[in-house]
Structure 1
């Protein structure tokens, strides 16, 4: 079993909060991690029809069986339990009594905010990070292999080929998770929407363009974007809010959490197709952005990442907002450093007054420039924990 960085944070939360909720996409390893961290607790999956029926029809009787606590998997499938859990948690000072997991963040967060606010700590568990997979490896992992395979656990344990796993994952996600949130009648149109969105990975989110290409209205597209975001399929990178320039772009950029899923949606069937693929740059950027997101979620920290772009075409891929300082990061898929890498960060630093920045690229050369900009490999950037 591959060690998960989030394990220590979950144990810390379970020692102080009465309950812990671990959310994340389907098949990200939530159940495996919860079982390994709390082996003494009974495990119940609310996906099981018999278990769910008992929980829904007799919640008091169901919970009375687990006085010492339990792991309730896919707990959003039985929302009626939350009110009864509140009563139990309020009557007991014991920390870490119940561990809740769910792959539907919208439904889980909705129920927690209504009944268990202040009693439950929430941590998002995403698929493997490169740090988890390559912590013992001294050389830089091959980015093309990572982009094609993605980082979902079943691709590595037990090792299902991505070309077999992702189509089945997509079908399961649409048939089960999407129906839970909203009863979409035409799943074929919804699947077409996801494939169209995959072609826009790393771009600004244009609802009107998506609506025209999908054949539905913009309100429907907005609703579907919310579904994908709440079920951890996509991540919306918001523009930085500080107004260094009055002509800023205000739409978010859309990234899929997993590049392997994007490759599958785009019809990329083997890794040899990637080097010359027109979307390789966007896929590489998506890999780095989501790895930066994982660093923060695994530590239980807020995601302090943004992007910046003005209407004249100047853009910085990532702005890390550390409160008292802003750190710009440019992501480049090339392996050779050239002067074009530096223009946008230099322009942004002049506007903002920042004195440093990073260029994360696919090459291995490290350069410390006199203007405060550091050029380094993308994996080295992650290891530095900027």
Structure 2
């Protein structure tokens, strides 16, 4: 098992807060991480997709009263939304007994569904942690091409062959479309949602054009928004917002859209091997999305990601606003030539960036002038990880 960076984040959160909600898509490794935590603590684990474990909580307060002093781990907690009110009472009761932290670890696969269920009941009592797929600094730089091709879902990344990996991802997509999404309530035909997801894959990293998507699917723009909201809520698609601070420029206002896991992107497009990927028109957008997700995952908790583009052509692939109020400007290029355009320098000046970085495919750090540096992806990840724990500024 690869060491997961999220483990320390969760342990730190449990040391400071009564409840922690661990969010992430199915099969990303949440249960494995929770069982690892269970092995290190006095705890009890329940999987609420199992009828037997749900029956244990028919009278939740009676059961949870007996677990006072233990870490209670509830997997797929969105299956029992009525439980959140009981958890609030349990947390408040334990606080009166002097037990203020490390009471509940809640795991869920649908981010906004779970957030809506828990936000009101557990306000001020919970911290949210998102668990991404396997990351570059977890598997090693020598595995970069494999991670890019197969994506970070552990079973896909560790499959015996590229063919076995692609088969796993195709099954994953089918399960989400035919079982998991209908279980959440939306009545969306699986074939329609698959076509929509594939259309997003073909436009990886492009500006959202809802009108073109609606015309291609024969639905309304409002329906496109609903489909996109669903995939964003499930943490399978990222809707990257444009930088919105007033810089006195005409800014692009549409978001950019990415399939978050590169392996799922390639499965949607039927790309099995590195050779087929490199020869495909989406290769550039795929690399950009892979780097972007890697960098966002490495950024300190509370960082806000954006992109920047003006109508005059000044552009940055990623702008990170860190919790300490620093602004990092990042351009991503799949090239070994460490060069940036005039538009990069204009954009970094517009937003008054504190750090100016070109993430490129070379192996060395190279100064580019005007405070900018060209850096390999792994070196940029290391630099972002070093910002963890810096003080927040309002």
Normalised by the size of structure 1, how large is the TM-score? 0.91
Partners in 2 of 1:164 and 1:217 — Cα distance? 33
Partners in 1 of 2:48 and 2:353 — Cα distance? 50
- State whether residues 144 and 274 of structure 1, in contact with CA within 8 Å, keep that contact through their aligned partners in structure 2: no
- What residue ranges of structure 2 are gaps of 5+ in the alignment? 388-394
Q: 1:43 to 1:312 in 2, by over 3 A?
A: same
Q: 1:292 to 1:185 in 2, by over 3 A?
A: closer
Write the deviation string for residues 325-362 of structure 1: whole angstroms up to 9, x where unpaired: 43221100122334xx2322212234344475111111
Partners in 2 of 1:61 and 1:2 — Cα distance? 38
Shift of 1:158: 6.4
Q: 1:202 to 1:63 in 2, by over 3 A?
A: same
Structure 1 stretch 241-250 or stretch 219-228: which is displaced more? 241-250
* SS of residue paired to 1:349: helix
Structure 1 stretch 180-189 or stretch 153-162: which is displaced more? 153-162
- State whether residues 24 and 126 of structure 1, in contact with CA within 8 Å, keep that contact through their aligned partners in structure 2: yes
Match of 1:87 among 89, 94, 104: 89
- Counterpart of 1:112 in structure 2 is 118
- Counterpart of 2:371 in structure 1 is 372
Shift of 1:157: 4.8
* SS of residue paired to 2:369: coil
Match of 2:227 among 205, 217, 224: 224
Aligned pair 1:124/2:130, yes or no? yes
- What residue ranges of structure 1 are gaps of 5+ in the alignment? 135-139
Match of 1:101 among 104, 107, 113: 107
Partners in 1 of 2:290 and 2:20 — Cα distance? 28
Structure 2 matches for 1:31-50, cutoff 5 A?
A: 31-39=31-39, 40-50=42-52
Q: Which has the higher contact order (CA 8 A, sep 6+)?
A: 1
Partners in 1 of 2:74 and 2:381 — Cα distance? 33
Match of 2:79 among 60, 77, 95: 77
- State whether residues 22 and 105 of structure 2, in contact with CA within 8 Å, keep that contact through their aligned partners in structure 1: yes
Write the deviation string for residues 20-55 of structure 1: whole angstroms up to 9, x where unpaired: 111111111111111111223221111113433553
Partners in 2 of 1:235 and 1:274 — Cα distance? 21
Shift of 1:251: 1.3
- Counterpart of 1:316 in structure 2 is 316
Shift of 1:142: 5.6
Partners in 2 of 1:72 and 1:143 — Cα distance? 34
Shift of 1:73: 0.3
* SS of residue paired to 1:92: helix
Match of 2:203 among 200, 204, 207: 200
Aligned pair 1:251/2:288, yes or no? no
User: What is the RMSD of the two structures over their aligned residues, measured on CA atoms?
Assistant: 2.1
- Counterpart of 1:163 in structure 2 is 166
- State whether residues 181 and 227 of structure 1, in contact with CA within 8 Å, keep that contact through their aligned partners in structure 2: no
Partners in 1 of 2:35 and 2:275 — Cα distance? 38
Structure 1 stretch 113-122 or stretch 62-71: which is displaced more? 62-71
- State whether residues 202 and 285 of structure 1, in contact with CA within 8 Å, keep that contact through their aligned partners in structure 2: yes
- State whether residues 159 and 165 of structure 2, in contact with CA within 8 Å, keep that contact through their aligned partners in structure 1: no
Partners in 1 of 2:12 and 2:77 — Cα distance? 22
- Counterpart of 1:332 in structure 2 is 333
Partners in 1 of 2:269 and 2:157 — Cα distance? 22
Structure 1 stretch 271-280 or stretch 313-322: which is displaced more? 313-322
Partners in 2 of 1:355 and 1:231 — Cα distance? 33
- State whether residues 45 and 74 of structure 1, in contact with CA within 8 Å, keep that contact through their aligned partners in structure 2: yes
Number of corresponding residues: 375
Partners in 2 of 1:270 and 1:96 — Cα distance? 44
* SS of residue paired to 2:21: strand
* SS of residue paired to 1:112: helix
